[in-house]
Homo-oligomer: A and B are copies of this chain.
Amino acid sequence: MKSHTKHLTFNVPARMGFVRITDEVAEEVRASRVQEGLCLVNAMHITASVFINDDEPGLHEDYMRWLEQLAPFDPSPEAYHHNRTGEDNGDAHHKRQIMGREVVVAVTDGRLDLGPWEQIFYGEFDGRRNKRVLVKIIGE
């Protein structure tokens, strides 16, 4: 069995933003030389997501507006008890649960086995600093 581990770093200049990372993940699959296996991609931070959806700017605007409705940014400790700790990112911990922590993608014939419109994204909900994404590939 082969395995390959890579930690990628992202710094999103806004509080919320989505970054397409399909190419970076595909590069790690190539580096792993795994032909058949599984590829895990997960946010290592708890106010961020990795998810798969469409690379379409209008959809990304929709997601941001929708997440803001479901869990609005509000730094007050009344809105989010989490903010009693001195943090202001209670909302980000909620947005991340909607969008998910991780994706697992099949590796087939040495490549990510994605549908025609599937793109992998890093989702940031409390940005403006370095945050890490883990890519782990196992297989043969």
Residues of A within 8 A of B (CB): 1, 3, 5, 36-38, 40, 42-46, 51-54, 56-59, 61-63, 66, 70-71, 77, 80-85, 90, 93-94, 96-106, 108, 113-118, 132, 134, 136, 138-140
Could you show 18 A-B contacts with beta carbons less than 8 Å apart?
Answer: A1-B139, A3-B140, A36-B138, A40-B106, A46-B53, A46-B117, A56-B82, A56-B85, A57-B81, A58-B83, A59-B90, A63-B94, A97-B99, A97-B100, A101-B103, A102-B103, A104-B104, A138-B139
Q: Which listed residue (B5, B51, B85, B97) contacts A58, Cβ 8 A?
A: B85
Within the complex, the shortest CB–CB distance from A10 to chain B, in Å, comes to 13
